[in-house]
Structure 1
Amino acid sequence: MSARSKARKRALDMLFQADVRGEELRSVVLAESGRASAEPDRMESWLYAREIVDGVEDHREQIDELISSYAQGWSLDRMPNVDRALLRVAAWEILFNDEVPAPVAIDEAVELAKEYSTEDSSRFVNGVLGKIAEHARNV
């Protein structure tokens, strides 16, 4: 697994944990930072995971608005927590990280959905992110 794939998983874990436990994201990131500093071989994935989480937090309103717009029939509150976190991670990459092609961000999110979410989540995540990528191309 590439460092970026590991970083996406770490970012997913942090966003999911903060969401499910109702914790401040800052606290979750601080705890994860401590673990990362104790494991130097994970530093590369930690740095990108932190960039993702900070980016999601900085642009949460815009990201959530787009997710809500394209998740037909699903409010953010009604989505499985894992799907919501995955959509935020990938949407940030699509919208704000020029180094990651949209198809890569979508594929990575779909694979994580297959591994960690419901049977239907991968199709749902793929559909929403495809629409967000189309939106990004048109702005």
Structure 2
Amino acid sequence: MSARTKARKRALDILFQADVRGDDLSQILAAEAKRAVNEPSREASWLYAREIVDGVIDNRDAIDEQITTFAKDWSLARMPAVDRAILRMGVWELLYNDEVPSGVAIDEAVELAKEFSTDDSGSFVHGVLGRVVRSG
């Protein structure tokens, strides 16, 4: 598994945790950063996970607007929390990270949805992110 794939899983965990618990994302990120200092073997994945979460924090309103626009009849509140977190990561990678090809961002998001969410989440995530790409 690549460092970026591991990083996406870490970022998903942070975003999901904040959403479900209603905790402040910056505080969870700070706690994870403190933990990462003691785990040098995970440094490569931590750096990209932090970049993702910081990017979602910095662009949350625009990201959520994209998701709401392209989620066809699904409000953010109605989506499973894990799907919201995956879509936020995916939209950030598509719109704000030029280093990741669109196809890779979508594939990685779909795989996370298949692994951690409902049976229908993979196709849902694929559809939303595909529409985001086509709109750009």
Same fold (TM over 0.5): yes
- Tell me how far 1:35 sits from its aligned partner: 1.4
Which position in structure 1 is the counterpart of 2:123? 123
Q: Percent identity?
A: 65
- Give 3-state SS (helix, strand or coil) of 1:76's partner: coil
Q: 1:26-57, CA deviations, whole angstroms, 9 ceiling, x for partnerless residues?
A: 11101111211110010111011000000011
Which position in structure 2 is the counterpart of 1:95? 95
Distance 2:135 2:48 in 1: 24
Which position in structure 2 is the counterpart of 1:27? 27
Amino acid at match of 2:42: R
Distance 1:96 1:134 in 2: 15
Give me the TM-score of the superposition, normalised by structure 1. Answer: 0.96
Give me the TM-score of the superposition, normalised by structure 2. Answer: 0.98
2:94 corresponds to 1:73: no
Distance 1:78 1:57 in 2: 21
Which position in structure 1 is the counterpart of 2:36? 36
Moved over 4 A (4+): none
2:135 corresponds to 1:135: yes
Amino acid at match of 1:100: V
- CA RMSD in angstroms, aligned pairs only: 0.6
